[in-house]
Structure formats: structure tokens, C-alpha cells
Amino acid sequence: MKRESMNRAIEERFLASLGMTVGMGAAFVLLTIAACAAPSARAQVTPQRLLDSAREPQNWLMYSGDYPGRRFSALEQINTSNAGMLVPKWAYQTMAGGKFETTPLVVDGVLYGTGQDNRAFALDARSGRPIWQYQRALPADIRPCCGRANRGLAILGDKVFLGTLDAHVIALDAKTGSVVWDVTAVEYRKGYSITLAPLAIKNLVIIGVSGGEYGIRGFIDAYDAGTGERKWRFYTVPGPGEPGHETWEGDSWKIGGAPAWITGTYDPATNTTFWTTGNPSPSNRGEGRAGDNLYSNSLLALDPETGKLKWYFQFSKHDDHDYDATQVPVMVDQGDRHLILQANRNGFFYLIDRSNGKLVFANPFARVTWSDSKDASGVPLARKDASPTLEGNRVCPGAAGATNWMSPTYDPQTQLFYVTAREQCDVFSTAPQAYEAGHAYYGSAYFPNDDAAPFTGALRAIDPNTGKMKWEWKHPSPTWAGVLSTAGGLVFTGDAEGNFIALEAASGKALWHFQCGASVYSSPMSFAIDGKQYVAVAAGSALFTFALP
Amino acid sequence: MLGAGAAAAVALRAQDKNPFAGDAKAAKLGESQFRANCAFCHGLGARGGGRGPDLSRAQKHHGNSDADLFRTINEGVPGTAMPPNGATQQGVGMTEEEIWQVISYIRSVQVKAPAQPAGNAAHGKELFYGSAACSTCHMIQGKGGRLGPDLSTTGSARSTDYLVESMRSPSRRLAQGISEAMKEFSQEYETVTVVTADGTKFLGVVLNEDHFTLQMMDTREQLHLFEKDKLRSLEKSRESLMPAYDQKTLSDKDLEDVIAYLLAVGAQ
């Protein structure tokens, strides 16, 4: 009430300055809204807008673009006939070192992104000019395993949400960047951090943690978007008395890992959110944690309102090669088949029935030597002699995987699944060590197997019906760039050599490229303002946008 | 607690001596850290790999005192592939305590006295610039050819085994060229043959490339910068342009002398 009367006072003062009264004000407000309605009615992002994201293809409302996680843009202004004419429009420099992994959001003309060391920013998406900038004051003793990176934000209402390297979850005011709430998800000194973009469902912000290199116990959390109050926590390593607990030897579950560090997807039809998990700890030594180690390296189907597990599917049982399953689980419907597609870090492409978690099939999409058999249901099983040894054991894919966190895309027009494949094998060796809270806990070392050099990469187009490759675009070396598909018949990706590339989605023919000047460690997206389509990608310390001249 | 921790950390850093010197348990802990964070380049036993120097040598190019080693590990070595602590993509950042443990481990595998160079460095130099003709392609301290890697610091940056292998079977592991910030793998000295649109053929080494372009040096030390789609053909090979020096071309004794020269130069 107090706030309303204050607003009223401000309004009166403002109208008075224009020589108007409150009575006349109503008409003025209407006029103002009409003037703003096109192109950018800067309304709140309601849960309904997130559900209906397909109705506003000019915006990019969540990390993967839509709830199914397809990273597909319905914009078609940039297409196969004109992609060759793309030009850079603007760049935004964070001026920070390290990997710049963000996928920005765009809502009604404002672009929201994150940078290294928990920077966040809002830009005029037309010009790249900043509206606000935020950087968290991080403690000096954080030690995130794999770079001081962050992959992006979620947006809901008038807030954007950020997970931090010191394992906090933060809500920022979308208009000012002010901290609205800040909650500690968990004690970072135990080795936890957060790098992923959260997922907003209804009034909840759902987020997981990193820390599989530190012997953490992974979990997925849901927070009330308005208050930051934690609504539920799902431990990805079951505790005593819970199903799956028996898959851990002794007390190994307490430090079992299974972090959830890539954004999930959501099926409103069944009210199910799908999340994936990473390696059991220690990542490269199975001794001391005998068993399947649930729910490491798994796909989890959770009720978003309660965090209750509906079903799970484990990709790599009792993993000792660091084959995190943290790749976006992409939802695709084929007639009455409701599927999840995942090209997994372990080198297999999996098709899973998302109504029950049953495997349809698994086919390799890259070189695989860790597995040479499948169980009765077709799930690939590890070779007995594939484990790390003291003197070193050569295994493909290497620890960085046949793919990794960089997003794949599903194009509903070509009905193909596109994924960044890495062809790199490693020598895995054991380095037994005792667990110490907050200290690195690999139990192993790995390094590239020079006998398998040169290491290469490729963008591969996979037919989900068969798991077979339709075409590939070869990268000179393995890359960490994700993939975007668009209704213009295009796929966009980047490479380690710094190119951002547009390819014909049907054939893999390159139509355009731009040299960004540094390796691309991000997944691209697309948006439109004033009827003009842009494609954006982060590389080096810059966010680049491209459009037709 | 945080304040106390920070003060302790400062105290650890301020001292120039390893607080765990001679502590076998610390060395064992350091070995695990070493395998996870350092073995990628320096090899499992710290005896050097294809990428980093042999750390079991008593002499170290960037200093061998405890304080030197701490600085090198914590801050990296500018202009080299040695990153600051925590900046690699493979390992995690180490605490100062863990860095000292790694130093304990390095001390535990380090040979006690500087190795007496087995070979004759002066004769090695004669061979390098004379009959072995290394200088046709390799430069040392500004003198020599450009087609192969500059060897001024190679003696300090590579293990003896690696140097022997590089001469006896150079194609076994190609030398690394340009390392770009954030790019995971360095360019290697691959052999390349191109035929241009007008039919001119060039043989040389790849200086760098991406999907669309090639930067190469031909055997006459000319730079060529190509757009790949404008070439008639482009063929790469992992058969090094460097000839394999077998026993007949370079005896074991002469090989030892060349290595002694490389080590002597590298130590400067």
C-alpha cells in the first residue's frame, strides 16, 4: 500500500510537470503503452510466456531457447540464400580472461548475458550498449575446476537469475542489475560451484551444482523466484534408506559427486523436468565405490513442484573416465513417440522414451573404445580392461569426451540432430589419493594420447531415427562450440580456430564464416529487433552479433 | 576463520623455504597433485613429456630455489606454455599448501647433482652448424634456419629422451609450433604440399591453419598465406620434413655431443 501511494505521488509530480492532472493521466498512460507496444512491450516474463516461447521467436527466453532444449530459432530472415552476406553488427567486450561461455537471453529488445568471474550485464540488443553491469565480489579461495566460467541466466517476472562460482543463487532486478535476493546454495569451501544457467518453471528457479572434481555430493535445487526460499532439493546421490543407495560402497556416497551442471529441459504435458548428472567421484578411480553409483552420469525425470524422481536412465555405470552425462537432454516428439535425444560424452547417441526412461537405442557417433558390448536392453557396457591403470591406459573418447557441455540442436525442419563431436583419446592413469574436503579429488591423471594425434573435431548431423550420420563438417581440432539451428535452413557453430560458421542445415555446406580472433567456447543463439534478425555468439572476451547489412 | 586462513596463506607464501621440505608424506600428496595438474605436460614421473621440461633435472631454466619453483607454479612463465596455477583446463587450482607439496614431490624425484654433460658441447656445436647440418633448418640464438623450431631453449624445455627421439625418429611426435590463447592444442610442425590454381607447387611446414586458410613456410623459407578453396590441392602429412638421423648419419657419440650443446645453450 505504501508503495502504491508513493507511485501515485511520483505520477502526480510527473504529470504536473507536463501540465496534466491524474484524470488526464489515464489517457496519457494508454498513449504511452500504445507507443511502446511495437516493437518492444517491456512486459514481465510470465511463466506462460516461457511455455509459449514459440509465439515470440524474436526473443530468446531461456538457455536452450525453449523448454524442449532444441536451440532452434524460428526466425528465417537469415537463410540459405543470403547467409553469405552476414556482417558483424556490434560486439560487447567483458575485458575478462578465461572462457566466455554465455548464451545470452533476449527479451523485448534487451539482451542479458553473463561473463567470466560472475559478471552479468544487460545491453540494448540493437546497439550493444550496456544498460547495467554486475560483477560478484568472489572470495579469494574459490577454486572452480574448469575455468571461472558461467553459461547464462534464467529470466522470470522482473528478475534474472544467476548461479555463482561460490555456490550462491542470486536474483538480479532485470532493469537495474540490483541484487534482489542472494542465497547460499551450499558451502563453496567443500568444492561446490555453480556455472550453469538456471531453468525457470512456473514460479521456481531450478539449478544444479558443479564440483565433480572435489568429492561433493551433487544435488538439484528449486528456489521460489520471488523470495529465494528453497522449495526442494534432490540429492543426485541417494542417502541411506533411499532407492539407489545400495549402488555405493560403504560411505562413498557421501562424496559421490554426480554434479548437475548443465541446464535441464521441461515437458509441460507431463509436468516433468529432465536433468542430467556428471561423474561419480573420484572421477577416474572406481576403487572404493563399487556398484553402479546412482545417479551419476544419468538422465533424471523430476516433478518440478516437488523434486520427486519419476524415473532415471544411467548412461555410464560405475564410470571411471569422467564421462559426465551433462549434455542438454533434448525433447523431440515423433508422432506418438515422446523422446529424449542425447549425444553423450561417452561417444554414444541415445534415444530414450521420455514417458518411462526406457532406451530405444544407443549408437556411437564418435570413436569409442571403452565399451564393446551392450546389456539385454541395449545399454552400452564398459570393457573390463578399459579402467585407468598406474602406468596408463589408452581409451577413446578422452576425458573431455566425444562431446561435452556445448549444446547440440534439433532442427524440426530437417528433423536432424546436430552435435559437436570431438575425436580425442587420452591415456588414463590412476593417482590414488585420500579425500580431503575442498581439495581436488580425481584419483587419476589423464593426458592426450599422442599416438592418436592429430586430434580433430566435427559438427555431425545425426538422423535420430537411425542414429546414423547424415553429414559432417570437419574441424581442424576439437572444439567447445555448441550449435544453433534456424528456420532459415541454417546451422551455426564455432571452432577452436576462432571461426563462427553458417552451414546449410540440409547438406553441411559452409555458406559464411567470420574470424572472431579466439576460440569459441559457447553455444550461439538468435533474436530479432525491429524485424531484423541477429545471430549472437561469445568468443574470446567479446559477445559478437551478426545480421544482414 | 577466513581471516586466520588468509594470514596463514600469506605466511606460507612469505617464506622462501618449503615448509614440507623432506617430508615424505607431503611428497606423496604432492605426487597426486602433480599427476592431476602437471603430468599433462611434464610426464607422469616429472621426467618431461612431449610438451614440458624434465623436472627431475637439478638445473631448472626458471630457477631451482623453493621460492623460484613456487613462483613458476603459481604465476606461470610468460611467453611459454606454462600457465599460472589454476588456469589450465585439465587441472584445478592448487592451494599454496598443495603447491609446496608438489615442490616436495619434485625434490623427491630430482637427481641429486647436476648431471655432468656426457657429451662434448663444443663438438656438438660444430656438428650443429657443420656436418650434421641442423642449422639449415634450426636457429639457435639468432643463427641458423627458420623452417624448423628455434632450439635456443629446447635443451632446457625437453627431456633428453625426447631430444634423442626427435633426432632419431622425428615423425614419432611432431614438434609443436604456435600456441594460441584458449586454443586447446598447439599447431604442430606438419608437412604440407600445396598446388596453387596456376599449378605452382610448394612443399613446407604448416605455421598455422584453420578450416578456411593456411599459413605455411616453404623449404626456401618463403611465407605463403592461402585461402584453401583457391588452391588446386592441399596435402598434409605427419611425416616430418626433418630427416631421421640414424646411426650412420649421426653416431651415438655425436648425438650425445649435439644434445650436450643443446643443454649447454638451454642453460644459458
Minimum-distance CB partner of B184 among A144, A433, A478: A478
Chain B residue closest to A498 (CA)? B210
Chain B residue closest to A426 (CA)? B40
- B6 lies within 8 A of chain A by CB: yes
Residues of B (211-230) whose Cβ lies below 8 Å from A: 211-212
Q: What average pLDDT does range B253-267 have in this prediction?
A: 93
Query: What mean pLDDT, rounded, does chain B reach?
Result: 87
Q: What average pLDDT does range B181-189 have in this prediction?
A: 90
- Is B180's CB within 8 Å of A432's CB? no
- Is B92's CB within 8 Å of A147's CB? no
Question: How many CB pairs below 8 Å do chains A and B form together?
Answer: 103
- Residue A28 φ then ψ, to 5°: -65, -45
- Is B238's CB within 8 Å of A454's CB? yes
- Residue A206 φ then ψ, to 5°: -105, 135
Residue B174 per-residue DSSP state:
P
pLDDT tier at A32 (50, 70, 90 boundaries)? very low
pLDDT for residue A23 = 47
Centre a 10 Å sphere on the Cβ of residue A230 and count the other Cβ atoms it contains: 14
pLDDT tier at B9 (50, 70, 90 boundaries)? very low
pLDDT tier at A2 (50, 70, 90 boundaries)? very low
SS3 content of chain B, % helix, strand, coil (to 5): 35, 15, 50
Q: What average pLDDT does range A495-511 have in this prediction?
A: 98
Q: What average pLDDT does range B70-86 have in this prediction?
A: 85
Minimum-distance CB partner of A499 among B37, B50, B212: B212
pLDDT tier at B91 (50, 70, 90 boundaries)? low
- pTM equals 0.90
Euclidean distance between CA atoms B106 and B63, whole angstroms:
13
pLDDT at A208 over 80: yes
CB A503 within 8 A of CB A514: no
Euclidean distance between CA atoms A447 and B41, whole angstroms:
8
pLDDT at A8 over 70: no
Q: Chain B contacts of A422, Cβ < 8 Å? A: none
Least confident of A37-41, A373-377, B169-173, B207-211: A37-41
- B10 lies within 8 A of chain A by CB: no
pLDDT at A97 over 80: yes
Minimum-distance CB partner of B211 among A141, A499, A518: A499
Minimum-distance CB partner of B211 among A440, A476, A480: A476
Does the interface predicted TM-score (ipTM) exceed 0.95? no
Percent share of chain A, pLDDT over 70: 92
pLDDT for residue B85 = 82
pLDDT for residue A454 = 84
pLDDT at B87 over 80: no
Minimum-distance CB partner of A440 among B31, B92, B185: B92
pLDDT at A518 over 60: yes
Q: What average pLDDT does range A203-207 have in this prediction?
A: 98
- B183: closest CA of chain A, how far (Å): 6
pLDDT tier at A433 (50, 70, 90 boundaries)? confident
Strands (E), A323-434: 330-334, 337-343, 348-353, 358-364, 371-374, 380-382, 393-395, 409-411, 416-423, 426-430
- B4 lies within 8 A of chain A by CB: no
In the residue annotation, A411 being an active-site residue is answered as no
Interface test with B, best of A442, A472, A499, A514 (most B CBs within 10 A): A442
Q: Chain A contacts of B101, Cβ < 8 Å? A: none
- Is A213's CB within 8 Å of B92's CB? yes
- Is A143's CB within 8 Å of B89's CB? no
Query: What mean pLDDT, rounded, does chain A reach?
Result: 92
Q: Which three cell numbers stand for residue A75?
A: 526466425
- B127: closest CA of chain A, how far (Å): 30
- B185: closest CA of chain A, how far (Å): 7
Euclidean distance between CA atoms B81 and B180, whole angstroms:
10
Minimum-distance CB partner of B36 among A431, A495, A519: A431
Q: Chain A contacts of B32, Cβ < 8 Å? A: 431-433
Euclidean distance between CA atoms A487 and A74, whole angstroms:
5
pLDDT tier at A486 (50, 70, 90 boundaries)? very high
Q: What average pLDDT does range A24-37 have in this prediction?
A: 41
Chain B residue closest to A481 (CA)? B183
Euclidean distance between CA atoms B56 and B45, whole angstroms:
8
- Is B212's CB within 8 Å of A496's CB? no
Chain B residue closest to A433 (CA)? B32
- Is A521's CB within 8 Å of B98's CB? no
Q: Which three cell numbers stand for residue A134?
A: 554486475
- A447: closest CA of chain B, how far (Å): 5
pLDDT at A35 over 50: no
Minimum-distance CB partner of B39 among A145, A432, A445: A445
- Is B211's CB within 8 Å of A439's CB? no
pLDDT for residue A17 = 53
pLDDT at B2 over 60: no
Percent share of chain B, pLDDT over 90: 56
Interface test with B, best of A439, A472, A495 (most B CBs within 10 A): A439
- A401: closest CA of chain B, how far (Å): 13
pLDDT tier at B52 (50, 70, 90 boundaries)? confident
Q: What average pLDDT does range B242-250 have in this prediction?
A: 96
pLDDT at B59 over 80: no
Q: What average pLDDT does range B22-48 have in this prediction?
A: 86
Report the DSSP pairing between strands A72-73 and A483-486: parallel
Q: Chain B contacts of A476, Cβ < 8 Å? A: 209-211
pLDDT for residue A33 = 38
Which residues have C-beta within 8 Å of that of residue B63, sequence separation ≥ 6?
Answer: B69, B71, B72
Q: What average pLDDT does range A518-533 have in this prediction?
A: 97
- B184 lies within 8 A of chain A by CB: yes
pLDDT for residue B161 = 86
Strand partners, A302: A273, A309
Interface test with B, best of A405, A497, A541 (most B CBs within 10 A): A497
Residues of B (89-128) whose Cβ lies below 8 Å from A: 89-95, 98
Euclidean distance between CA atoms A525 and A535, whole angstroms:
6
pLDDT at B13 over 70: no
- Rg of chain B in Å (alpha carbons): 21
pLDDT for residue B88 = 58
Chain A residue closest to B96 (CA)? A141
Q: How far is CA A316 from CA A78, A293, A362, A448, in A?
A: 40, 10, 12, 21
Chain A residue closest to B190 (CA)? A454
pLDDT tier at A529 (50, 70, 90 boundaries)? very high
Chain B residue closest to A436 (CA)? B29
pLDDT for residue B268 = 78
Among residues A319, A322, A324, A426, which one is catalytic?
A322
> Nearest-CA neighbor of A275 among A329, A227, A225?
A329
- A433: closest CA of chain B, how far (Å): 6
Euclidean distance between CA atoms A437 and A188, whole angstroms:
10
pLDDT digits (tens, 9 = 90+) for B133-180: 999 999 999 999 999 999 998 888 888 888 999 999 999 989 999 989
- B62 lies within 8 A of chain A by CB: no
> Nearest-CA neighbor of A299 among A356, A231, A226?
A356
- Is B185's CB within 8 Å of A433's CB? no
pLDDT at A324 over 60: yes
pLDDT for residue A142 = 87
pLDDT for residue B111 = 79
